[in-house]
Amino acid sequence: MRLSAVGAVLCYLNLALEVRDVVAVTKENPRVCIVGAGYSGLGAARYLKDYGIDNFKMFEATKHIGGTWRFDPHVGTDEDGMPLFTSMYKNLRLNTPKLTMEYVGYPFPEGSQSYPTGVCFHKYLKRFAKDFDLIKHIQFQSYITSIKWDKDHWNITYTKVDTKETRTEDCDFVVISNGEFSTPVWPKFEGLKLFKGKIIHSHDYKDPENYRNRRVLLVGAGPSGLDLAVHLSNVTTKLVHSHHLKYNQPFFSDTYVKKPDIRKFTSNGVYFQDNSFEQVDDVIFATGVLQKVFNCVKEAQGEYAAALIAGKFKLPSQEQMLKVWMTHVRDMKAKGSSILDVNDIPDGTGMYYYFGNLTAEAGIYRRPKVFADIREYTRQFRLENLLTFRDYDYKIIDEENFVKWYNPRPGNPCPFDE
């Protein structure tokens, strides 16, 4: 089942909406199935419990919670031979302050650094699942293969990874929260098949030590591309970085070489648009698994879906929703946006008003404007201070203001190790 990459929780709105159109009434004790036990799935489960709905089950394909935030040393497939959903790699740290990643009412302990490691954030998720008593609702090693509507309910079919047995269960509502970072985008270049070195996508990148004393071509300068440039520049013999991002490029190392976009590959290297050539041993494509949405949005969407399932509000008619949707599509096209971006949530102020729309419709908690402001500020600050931006801590003063200060933490301590 191919799901939109826009965000786990946008999908649950689509499915919950479809249930409403078919069922027309809210069941008194609805059976809810959640696909995935990562950040979004756990958040949706928490809100279902908050709204008094305890008749739900989370289907998790792996043996673990945490989704993309769990580091797995395997590449391609996990220990059970299943597709590897996580893109986590060694030494990763958050690239946006934890304030925009925390669940409402469940902050990191006071004094924690604003940019914890990925491993630490995974421990936060495990602590959250335990404290909200969510583990008992998770059925692990259950890989969803089909979700179909059958008269008055959903049939959800899955394979038990451990026994290979196929089962089907019925649900009144289905919450899709299986992640947005597991399907890499591979570019196409002339001569790529001629290249004899190793080619991977950053989704499969695990450890900089695998590239020690190698000549590496890194393609892309999104969050992952820039982070890998920092990780690799001091271990490679040469790091050739092809991208067209305009930012305050720091001094990575003497072995770092910036190049424009690629023109074509050869058996042992690559020509660039400026007709220069570089011989390389390995290629890493950091060319997309990311959408412009942060965790506060996903959590708010999960709360929205839970409120809908609990019957706290009613959706407009299918006709009304389709009319609004088509108007939105036309507006996006008029602005020159691709139809592929039609589900993108606007950055900055637009994101704040998106929270407002969810609140107006469902009566859920409106995330204050300061969250969108922190997101926008730190995104630009990261590009201006790539090597040091994580050394700053942030604190929210009120709904519209925050402060930051320089506070490096040697060793990146995690409060959940204590």
Tens place of pLDDT per residue across the chain (418 aa)? 222 222 333 344 334 434 444 443 467 789 999 999 999 999 999 999 999 999 999 999 999 999 999 999 999 889 998 888 899 999 999 999 999 999 999 999 999 999 999 999 999 999 999 999 999 999 999 999 999 999 999 999 999 999 999 999 999 999 999 877 677 889 999 999 999 999 999 999 999 999 999 999 999 999 999 999 999 999 999 999 999 999 999 999 999 999 999 999 999 999 999 999 999 999 999 997 855 567 888 999 999 999 999 999 998 899 999 998 899 888 888 888 777 777 777 776 788 888 898 999 999 999 999 998 999 999 999 999 999 999 999 999 999 999 999 999 999 999 998 6
Q: Is residue 268 part of a domain?
A: yes
Q: Are residues 228 and 120 in the same domain?
A: no
178 plus 47 within the same structural domain? yes
My answer on whether 109 and 248 are in the same domain is: no
Same domain for 90 and 121, yes or no, is: yes
Does residue 148 share a domain with residue 98? yes
122 and 176 belong to one structural domain:
yes
Same domain for 224 and 83, yes or no, is no
For residue 418, tell me if it sits in a domain: no
Q: How many domains does the chain have?
A: 2
| 312 and 215 both lie in a single domain | no
Q: What is the largest CA-CA distance in the chain?
A: 67
Closest residue by Cα to residue 205 from 92, 44, 50, 54: 92
β-pair partners for 341: none
Indicate whether 361 belongs to any domain.
yes
Domain termination site, one of 240, 255, 285: 285
The reported pLDDT for the residue numbered 26 is 60
Based on the fold, state whether residues 162 and 239 are members of the same structural domain: no
**177 and 201 housed in the same domain:** no
Predicted confidence at residue 202, as pLDDT, reads 94
Single pTM value for the model: 0.90
Q: In terms of Cα–Cα distance, which of 12, 3, 371 is closest to 176?
A: 12
Range of the domain at 260: 192-285
From 285, 300, 331, the end of a domain falls on 285
What pLDDT shows up at residue 349? 74
CATH number of the domain where residue 218 is located? 3.50.50.60
Q: Flag whether 378 is in a domain.
A: no
126 and 229 together in one domain: no
Last residue of a domain, one of 245, 270, 285: 285
If asked whether residues 208 and 322 sit together in one domain, one would say: no
